[in-house]
Amino acid sequence: MTDALLIPCPHCNGLNRLPAERLGDAPRCGRCKQAVLSGAPFELTQASYASQLKGDLPLLVDVWAAWCGPCRAFAPTFEQAAAQLLGRARLAKLDSEAHPQLAGQLGIRSIPSLLLFKDGREVARQSGAMPLPQLLAWLAQHGV
Ligand SMILES: [Zn+2]
């Protein structure tokens, strides 16, 4: 029997059941037919948050805002991490200006902030940007 993972679609929030060995093959969503795992960060919203916390892959959230220089400087690093972690973790960006209620709910005090969720709950949090090797090392410490 193959191991199947439950993974929410970043586009329609539908929960997909995918065989573990297929995660690298650009799997499509059963509901909306878009890419479930693209190797690029997707946007987290107030509406999608609860659905996106579900599933079997860790979720790493970058909380940012357009006016925040360090956030903008960190964006390419976050994109590189998303490509490297394809199939191992899902990376999402939360615009704290567009979704202040969610940012407040998560207790965000400064940006950029990185939040790591596993099995629907927060397991680690880091304030401030990190270079890619440090980011990957921090995630490895938490089993990603
Ligand atoms: Zn979908």
- CA 109–ligand 1 middle distance (angstroms): 32
Given a contact cutoff of 8 angstroms between Cβ atoms, the answer to whether 90 and 58 are in contact is yes
- Residue 75's CATH number: 3.40.30.10
Digit-coded pLDDT (tens) for 36-80: 998 999 999 999 999 999 999 999 999 999 999 999 999 999 999
- CA 38–ligand 1 middle distance (angstroms): 12
Structural domains in the chain (count):
1
Decide if 71 is catalytic: yes
Is the residue at 99 inside a domain? yes
Between the CA of residue 5 and those of 15, 33, 34, 66, 82, what are the distances in Å? 10, 17, 17, 34, 18
- CA 96–ligand 1 middle distance (angstroms): 24
Is the residue at 21 inside a domain? no
What residues does the ion ligand 1 have nearby, CB within 5 Å?
Answer: 9, 11-12, 14, 29, 31-32
Digit-coded pLDDT (tens) for 72-125: 999 999 999 999 999 999 999 999 999 999 999 999 999 999 999 999 999 999
